[in-house]
Amino acid sequence: MIAGKAHALHKRVDQLCTRAIRWAELKRKSKAEKRLAITVFSFPPDKGNVGTAAYLNVFSSIFSVLKDLQKDGYNVEGLPETSEALIEYILHDKEAQFSSPNLNVAYKMGVREYQKMTPYAAALEENWGKPPGNLNSDGENLLVYGKQFGNVFIGVQPTFGYEGDPMRLLFSKSASPHHGFAAYYSFVEKIFKADAVLHFGTHGSLEFMPGKQVGMSDVCFPDSLIGNIPNVYYYAANNPSEATIAKRRSYANTISYLTPPAENAGLYKGLKQLSELISSYQSLKDTGRGPQIVSSIISTARQCNLDKDVELPDEGQEIPAKERDLVVGKVYSKIMEIESRLLPCGLHVIGEPPSAMEAVATLVNIAALNRPEDNISSLPAILANTVGRDIEDVYRGSDKGILKDVELLRQITDASRGAISAFVERTTNKKGQVVNVADKLTSILGFGINEPWVDYLSGTKFYRADRDKLRTLFEFLGECLKLVVADNELGSLKQALEGKYVEPGPGGDPIRNPKVLPTGKNIHALDPQAIPTTAAMQSAKVVVERLVERQKIDNGGKYPETVALVLWGTDNIKTYGESLGQVLWMIGVRPVADTFGRVNRVEPVSLEELGRPRIDVVVNCSGVFRDLFINQMNLLDRAVKMVAELDEPVEMNYVRKHALEQAEALGIGVREAATRVFSNASGSYSSNINLAVENSSWNDEKQLQDMYLSRKSFAFDCDAPGAGMTENRKVFEMALSTADATFQNLDSSEISLTDVSHYFDSDPTNLVQNLRKDGKKPSAYVADTTTANSQVRTLAETVRLDARTKLLNPKWYEGMMSSGYEGVREIEKRLTNTVGWSATSGQVDNWVYEEANTTFIEDEEMLSRLMSTNPNSFRKLVQTFLEANGRGYWETSQDNIERLRQLYSEIEDKIEGIDR
């Protein structure tokens, strides 16, 4: 027995040494002989999705990287002249007809060869049968897709494999890679003989394969797959949690890349017309034309579907003069919210830093946050003080629709943009690039009399703004500007490929933490025991109180007894534990830090101090949160169980109330009944609802709900240390059946509800309705802390805001179209994710689909551009419209449906190369 263990240990040490030696060999080998395997992702499996990565124009970036490596002495023989040609080489089999439905086959691997090179192949047979199987296979051989250029192989990573199989999705708590997936990595290491693999963009499937959460062994699939190849991984700078998983589970050296600069959404069509009407009203409201303009504002607001967000009087109803301002103020506040919402425009290309004017929006948002630890006041706060107002009061008044506050906030916002634009312009050259920032800053800050922001503000009502506070702020913004336009994404890659040290740096939101910049760093996260911080708890309290108030308004003055919410890994890293703090404040406990700042203990807050009942929670932790914050899951579980055991009246302690009821119903102890912290089984991720929706491989909503329950009902138990996650579905279902509200957080302008599938994948709104005895649909809320003015909106309001600012916004979709092939896929993805929200929550208005159809299908010119740029993604877009109608989420005319069916048939023929 001991000899066996010693042999296993020796074998493991040998493996780890081999991996280290392979990294060291990168220093020794010449650039011309080095072999590099670039791996792109394809998800969901469809040719229109080859090269998926968050915020990244993958093929333009690969082209840019290869051009640079070629210049540096790497052998990239046969590299085509354009990124478009590069796409064609990989997407189309050169031996097939022009409109080939197959990806280019780089290698055919026989079954014997595969088994010889893949020592763990037999372990895959339990899930996938004997090789070659039917994935990445022609029935006899396993197929490796990709294309080689000199010593560089660009390969397409196979997908998980169970996306199109509803039964596997439903029952698979944890699977294994399929034979085609294993064959890909065997090819890269043992046939192509890669010196390094470069995973291109956020994120693929390798690091999410089953195995231990941390401390991989040679029976964990990520370890088996990557073998001994040095793994370099381009990762979005704003995603430290998943980057950490890539480091822990696939030994990646991550290199951060910039997310596209965020711009304001702006206004278009009827929304722009509304803005003009409101301007007219403000100048003419005291004349006889006032009532007439208000009437036009109301009818235009209805045409723009704003009546779902703002309570509008009936058309033709006479409105007293003093109420007119409030009606106009509420509409004005809503269109201001739309206009100023931040959205990343286009997709990033590796090695292209933003221009100066692209950097302005980022600086405006950095300037909007108070930073008391650095003694920096926010620009909106400085400007509000100039006119004798506190910015928080202005935010509150604007939220209520008080016209003078909405207008003042508009003036503050415009003045902030103007002052920062004036500052940035002074550091730019004629091409709009920021150059010699340090020298120019010295001259700008050196004289004091003609500071550009002072010059700008002198022409506004804020001309008396505090000069010292402005100077401190703009000195900080100058440092940030240097970081925003710096760029080391290509430089760091070349260092990594030479086996050199890549400087580490934090990942996260560059607006909250500018130290994330410049990109090109080896991403790290934070000390998981240091959260939630004091500042995060302060922000958490604000959101919880607003959530409770909002639910009371929507629910006849009653407090919510239970809130079902999600904890995400990335969000808690970016905000230093804000959503974790929200859970603690809901149940009425505060974290207690030790002398080293580690949070390992909580204490109850008295009911007197809390001023409301303790709210029960059902916490759904993402698989990434579970991996990174197991200590905090322990803290949460201890906190909930402690609250359940407090000797308090049940009408003031809903945790105790429900735990007692559930203990009696299930015949278990109160502590077990108070289990509230759930996630996936160890080594498993997501509920798979996102896979089912993305692949249209689900029968009905009940099936989606079963997926959620079967994969998300694994409980953490602080009373069983080291036991990992154990299934406890009965308690999970009973706890969810008491939920009055579901809740998620948005903490960054880059990712919103329809940008990624994770949010709807974790949404239990329809499921809770199904579990509740009264069948009542819970309220669904989303907190938005992306700006200084935190909001709690309903899920329906947030989906509408997302649709208006992204999917239906010319500024957004034209920005995407400028990225070509990848841009069409991004448009299709937003529509698919919108259908996901219909499936899990039913909170998508019919007009969203109708307007999307008008924008992308009825406009002949747009339709033609989409079809010619990425026919596969356009086919999926058309299919998604038809599916939304078929599943009852979109009511539209029969003419529209016939047109879509005809289009689908046309594009199928085009893709298959059939001429009718």
**Read out DSSP for 781-847?**
EEEE-SSSS-EEEEHHHHHHHHIIIIIT-HHHHHHHHTTTHHHHHHHHHHHHHHHHHHHHH----HH
The Cα–Cα gap between 766 and 338 comes to: 28
The share of the chain scoring above pLDDT 70, in percent, equals 92
Instruction: Say whether pLDDT at 384 is over 90.
Output: yes
602 by DSSP, 3-state: which?
strand
82 by DSSP, 3-state: which?
coil
Alpha helices in 515-629 (DSSP H): 534-554, 569-574, 578-587, 607-610, 623-628
The Cα–Cα gap between 121 and 143 comes to: 16
The pTM of the whole model exceeds 0.95 = no
Strand-pair category, 262-264 with 342-344: antiparallel
Of 160-174, 270-284, 488-502, 595-609, least confident by mean pLDDT is 160-174
Of 186-195, 506-515, 620-629, least confident by mean pLDDT is 506-515
pLDDT one-digit tens code per residue, 79-100: 998 888 888 887 765 443 333 4
The share of the chain scoring above pLDDT 90, in percent, equals 50
The DSSP annotation for 675-729 comes to: --EEEPPTT--S-SHHHHHHTT--S-HHHHHHHHHHHH-EEP-TTSTT---EE-H
pLDDT one-digit tens code per residue, 536-556: 898 899 999 999 999 999 888
The Cα–Cα gap between 462 and 415 comes to: 8
Sign of CA dihedral 27, 29, 32, 33: negative
Kindly compute the dihedral angle of the four CA atoms of residues 276, 278, 284, 285, in this order, to the nearest 10 degrees.
Answer: 170
Contact assessment for residue 221 and residue 8, using Cβ atoms and an 8 Å cutoff = no
pLDDT one-digit tens code per residue, 180-200: 999 999 999 999 999 999 999
Position 242 confidence tier, pLDDT thresholds 50, 70, 90: confident
pLDDT score recorded for residue 685 = 81
More confident residue, 504 or 720: 504
For residue 543, list its beta bridge partners: none
More confident residue, 210 or 862: 862
pLDDT one-digit tens code per residue, 24-77: 999 999 999 999 999 998 755 555 567 777 788 888 999 999 999 999 999 999
284-301: average pLDDT: 85
| DSSP tally for the chain: helices H, then strands E | 40, 21
Contact assessment for residue 343 and residue 483, using Cβ atoms and an 8 Å cutoff = no
Residue with tokens 């948002």: 365
Q: Which amino acid is at 312?
A: L
pLDDT one-digit tens code per residue, 474-505: 989 988 888 888 878 999 999 999 999 999 98
pLDDT score recorded for residue 164 = 59
Q: Is 32 exposed, middle or buried (0-12, 13-18, 19+ CB in 10 A)?
A: exposed
Query: Angle at the Cα of 217 (from 213 to 220), degrees rounded to 5?
Result: 65
pLDDT one-digit tens code per residue, 586-599: 999 999 988 877 88
Instruction: Say whether pLDDT at 656 is over 90.
Output: yes
The Cα–Cα gap between 173 and 377 comes to: 49
Contact assessment for residue 223 and residue 211, using Cβ atoms and an 8 Å cutoff = yes
Instruction: Say whether pLDDT at 328 is over 80.
Output: yes
Mean pLDDT for all residues in the chain:
87
The DSSP letter of residue 50 is B
For the chain, give the number of residues: 916
Strand-pair category, 252-257 with 262-264: unpaired
pLDDT one-digit tens code per residue, 136-148: 888 899 999 999 9
Instruction: Say whether pLDDT at 163 is over 70.
Output: no
Q: Is 863 exposed, middle or buried (0-12, 13-18, 19+ CB in 10 A)?
A: middle
Instruction: Say whether pLDDT at 306 is over 80.
Output: yes
Strand-pair category, 677-679 with 616-621: parallel
What's 23-43 look like in SS3? Answer: HHHHHHCCCCCCCEEEEECEC
628-641: average pLDDT: 92
Alpha helices in 597-653 (DSSP H): 607-610, 623-628, 630-644
Instruction: Say whether pLDDT at 736 is over 90.
Output: yes
Write the CB contacts of 328 (distance below 8 Å, at least 6 apart in sequence). Answer: 278, 281, 285, 294, 297, 403
Position 229 confidence tier, pLDDT thresholds 50, 70, 90: very high
pLDDT score recorded for residue 484 = 81
Position 105 confidence tier, pLDDT thresholds 50, 70, 90: confident
Phi–psi pair at 674, nearest 5 degrees: -85, 15
The Cα–Cα gap between 319 and 154 comes to: 66
Write the CB contacts of 116 (distance below 8 Å, at least 6 apart in sequence). Answer: none
Contact assessment for residue 747 and residue 763, using Cβ atoms and an 8 Å cutoff = no
Write the CB contacts of 71 (distance below 8 Å, at least 6 apart in sequence). Answer: none
Q: Give the H or E element holding residue 15.
A: helix 2-28
Give the CA distances from residue 621 to residues 102, 240, 330, 451, 762, in Å, rounded to whole numbers and listed in that order.
39, 17, 36, 49, 9
367-385: average pLDDT: 90
pLDDT one-digit tens code per residue, 689-701: 888 888 888 888 9
Q: How far is CA 880 from the centre of its chain?
A: 21
Position 443 confidence tier, pLDDT thresholds 50, 70, 90: low
